[in-house]
Structure 1
Amino acid sequence: MMETKTSHLPNMELWKQWKEQGDTEAKKLLIETYLPLVDFVSNRLAVGLPKNVSKDDLSSYGVMGLMDATEKFDYERGLQFETYASWRIRGAIIDGLRQGDWVPRSVREKAKKVEEAYTVLEQKYLRTVTDAEVSDYLELSEKEFQHMLQDISITAICSLEDPIGEEETETRLNVLVDERAKNPESKVGEFFLKESLVKAIERLTEKERTVVSLLYYEDLSLSEIAEVMSLSPSRISQLHSKAILRLRGSLGRLKGQLFENP
């Protein structure tokens, strides 16, 4: 994903100097070493954002995320800093954009309506619903529905600080834990999450599953996925938006069933 300026051993030495001795020069070198992560993450996020969003702003937010990751990372836990920092950088960029009110309220309301449509219709028919059925539910033409998907594509990203449970303090960031730790409660939660996600993904169309797989598992950008699938970037963006909204609706429904049936 990126090339570091030093080998693993020097990096480990830098981590020790920074974390154990408080060497600020070592911290500076670590930030410079992993700075390419900021470009990598910001470039991926930029694909689905409006043109008026400045690339410099994304980078500035990302650098703050990298600095925060460097402050909070525990190198002794055996985790990959690149993975941890990428999430921190992404979260910092999204949080920075949200503070700047970059998504109009009207767009968020549209996203909420589409998510509700998927939740209601798929619970009613117990299958993946078509664009025509969603359009009919929303009292829109299919062309208007496609335009709506394009408008809300910029909302299909999420922050690590967003709550994922009943408690506001339970966020995505909380699940970034040491894989070696033996915690029965977290294992049960992880099992349920995986089972729920599998069921939700099964409801996606073939094209939607392909986009999700290439984007989140193969680490391709939306433009690269467009080339692979021989579709336009805007069409890939629409498929991604529909997949995210379907998944949100399905996971929300499964979550409700869990709490209704203790």
Structure 2
Amino acid sequence: MSEQKGSHLNHIELWIQWKEHGDVEAKKRLIENHLGTVEYVSSRLAIGLPKNVSKDDLMSNGVMGLIDAIEKFDYKRGLQFETYASWRVRGAILDGLRQGDWVPRSVREKARKIEDAYQQLEQKYMRSVSDAEISNFLDVSEREFQTMLQDVAVMSITSLEDPIREEESETRMSLIVDEKAKNPDRSVNDFVLKDLLMKGIEKLTEKERTVVSLLYYEDLSLSEIAEVMSLSPSRISQLHSKAILRLRGALDKQRGLLMQDM
């Protein structure tokens, strides 16, 4: 009987039944209604992941994130649940990937070396540095540097999802999500990080900015971006990797400064 009643409830009525009356059937309907978000986020994150990473595993972790979002969401605040849920789902999937340690240590080391190179050189010259300058700093040929970028591309899709502070779950990109009851100091730090991210994007090359914009703001896949920009998917992957490593270097530097001030 309750299942039949739940099937006729509209969106807000489902939230009321679940949050105010603990109606489990209403909760099940909310989960069913938003499984598309899990499918979408899983498909996006699956791009570039190793073949041994099962999409079913991504979906399973994503569903757990969706359930967590439904349990914690405050419908009375008038926020878009889809936006809130997508970040919870994404976070749950990434947590699962991190626990699985699917990125080889050698790849992580390459990414860290490139990130450090961008951070040191761009701080030294106060401008975006070229591939030749990075290659020279790393003591590798430009061809070897391009290969390194291709190797680390597999982990760069999650780079902006790493925690801002190691002991916390908030990510760099999640700064755009409206969280409840932040303290003033935290709000100031978040504003600084947002501002730094914007400045970092401005310092990217035109092609790197385009890739970041199309991927994170226009919501296109890497293959779609390759078609739009008339470049190969591997080239788009390299541009994305360079952009993310530049941004990581800038954000990590600011994180260190913020931690010193706390």
TM-score (norm: length of structure 2): 0.87
Asked if structure 2 preserves the Cα contact closer than 8 Å seen for 1:119 and 1:249, the reply is yes
Pair 162,209 (structure 1): closer, same or farther in 2 beyond 3 Å? closer
Cα deviation for residue 242 of structure 1 reads 0.6
Whole-Å separation in 1 of the counterparts to 2:185 and 2:71:
28
Cross-structure match for 1:60: 60
Residue aligned with 1:172, SS: coil
Pair 67,42 (structure 1): closer, same or farther in 2 beyond 3 Å? same
Tell me whether 120-129 or 246-255 shows the greater mean CA deviation. Answer: 246-255
Percent identity among equivalent residues? Answer: 70
Pair 259,43 (structure 1): closer, same or farther in 2 beyond 3 Å? closer
Asked if structure 1 preserves the Cα contact closer than 8 Å seen for 2:160 and 2:248, the reply is no
Tell me whether 227-236 or 251-260 shows the greater mean CA deviation. Answer: 251-260
Whole-Å separation in 2 of the counterparts to 1:169 and 1:256:
15
Cross-structure match for 1:3: none
Instruction: Return the letter of the residue paired with 2:53.
Output: V
Superposition RMSD on alpha carbons, in Å? 2.5
Tell me whether 44-53 or 114-123 shows the greater mean CA deviation. Answer: 44-53
Pair 182,120 (structure 1): closer, same or farther in 2 beyond 3 Å? closer
Cross-structure match for 1:103: 103
Pair 138,159 (structure 1): closer, same or farther in 2 beyond 3 Å? closer
Q: Deviations over 1:204-247 (max 9, x none)?
A: 11000000111111111111111110111111111111101001
Whole-Å separation in 2 of the counterparts to 1:38 and 1:195:
30
Pair 28,220 (structure 1): closer, same or farther in 2 beyond 3 Å? same
Residue aligned with 1:49, SS: coil
Instruction: Return the letter of the residue paired with 2:102.
Output: W
Residue aligned with 1:253, SS: helix
Whole-Å separation in 2 of the counterparts to 1:30 and 1:24:
10
TM-score (norm: length of structure 1): 0.87
Structure 2 unaligned residues grouped into runs of 5+: 1-5
Asked if structure 1 preserves the Cα contact closer than 8 Å seen for 2:160 and 2:244, the reply is no
Instruction: Return the letter of the residue paired with 2:79.
Output: L
**Greater fraction of residues in helix:** 2
Asked if structure 1 preserves the Cα contact closer than 8 Å seen for 2:159 and 2:244, the reply is no
Whole-Å separation in 1 of the counterparts to 2:219 and 2:80:
17
Whole-Å separation in 1 of the counterparts to 2:159 and 2:128:
27
Q: Deviations over 1:85-123 (max 9, x none)?
A: 111111111111121121111111111011001011111
Q: Deviations over 1:54-98 (max 9, x none)?
A: 121111111111111111111112211111111111111111112
Number of residues of Structure 1 aligned to a counterpart in Structure 2 = 253
Whole-Å separation in 1 of the counterparts to 2:212 and 2:161:
22
Cross-structure match for 1:243: 243
Asked if structure 2 preserves the Cα contact closer than 8 Å seen for 1:222 and 1:236, the reply is yes
